[in-house]
Amino acid sequence: MTLDVSLDLSVDVVELTRQLIDIESVSLDEQAIADAVEAALRPHGHLEVIRHGNTVVARTMLGRGERVIIAGHLDTVPVNGNLPARLEDGILHGLGSVDMKGGVAVQLKLAAALSEPVRDVTYVFYDAEEIAAVHNGLGKLGAERPDLLEAEFAILMEPSNAVVEAGCQGTMRIEITTVGERAHTARSWMGVNAIHAAADILTRLQGYVPRKPVIDGLEYHEGLNAVFINGGVAGNVLPDECVVTVNYRYAPDRSEQEAAAFLRDFFVGYAVVVVDSSPGALPGLSLPAAKAFLDAVGGVANPKFGWTDVSRFSALGVPAVNFGPGDPLLAHKQEEHVPVEQIERCEQQLTRWLTPGLTEGGVA
């Protein structure tokens, strides 16, 4: 239940996170939270605020030599008895606390407070990340207003336990079909069992040795796994078709075309049909903005093994990292919760990165 549809950017980042959690924003129902974000940012004269559907963009236009993007999605998975928010013993509980309203609160605080950042900043608050890609607000923005996503570097405030997770791996799903001939199981020699014919596919998967390329000093770990097997006609009929669905998680030094070529080679002798694909994203840690960012947040980066919207930035030629408060293993769970210390630390570290002359203690 939405308790309030307004946001007060003068409160601390933890209280702002609580306000955001209490605005219910399940995917495709983000208008109230997008309205609240837009209304909260409009009074800040150092920002140009642009509305694109239920995506809100706010950016500085200071003519700096470098522009960075800080992005986060406004939507959540469906409510599961985890609203409103509650704060207990330094832990903030509630739907979206991890994925990813803590990160959005950090974005909003930075956008309101930093009128003279050392880099121009584009803050993107987008809708429909948790559902099919066709609805994704960041994807729509990139397709319809790519000028708003021009930058040298991007940070996606996805939960990462407040540690940099660089780039992301690509993901591809394929289907491999084996064909048999129907027959009564009492006379099975009269047919060909298509499910049995899939055994070779599974044997190849069992023997797969993951590739572990090192990119920008980070070791990625690929994965190749059967995720579905579909086949069968009736309890007394040999199946004449079996479909094995395989998911390939591949390092970002491979393109979608290269990933598909690898799979066709790995399953040589079978027809491989790609049914879903999203490219990976290179980490770009050698870039000056990324190096400065790593220095500001402790100099530690891990590879991102899952897929996130940093891939969309990579497709636009913008290297990106994931960096946000919260344990990603708690995302979408009923007991979703985030340590307030992580939210506060993310705000402090990003402020230091964007503020000229600011030291660890916050004094110029």
DSSP string, 159-208: -STTSEEESB-EEEEEEEEEE-B--BGGGGGGSB-HHHHTHHHHHHHHT-
> How far are the Cα atoms of 56, 171, 309 from residue 137, in angstroms, in the given order?
9, 20, 11
- Contact between 165 and 281 under an 8 Å Cβ cutoff? The reply is no
- Could you say which DSSP state residue 79 is in? P
Residue 295 designated active-site = no
**Residue of 24, 30, 38, 75 marked active site:** 75
Residue 150 designated active-site = no
- Contact between 224 and 246 under an 8 Å Cβ cutoff? The reply is yes
The strand pairing partners of 59, in sequence order, are 48, 122
H/E stretch holding 354 reads helix 340-354
H/E stretch holding 288 reads helix 288-296
- Contact between 172 and 277 under an 8 Å Cβ cutoff? The reply is yes
**Residue of 22, 30, 99, 129 marked active site:** 129
Catalytic residues: 75, 129
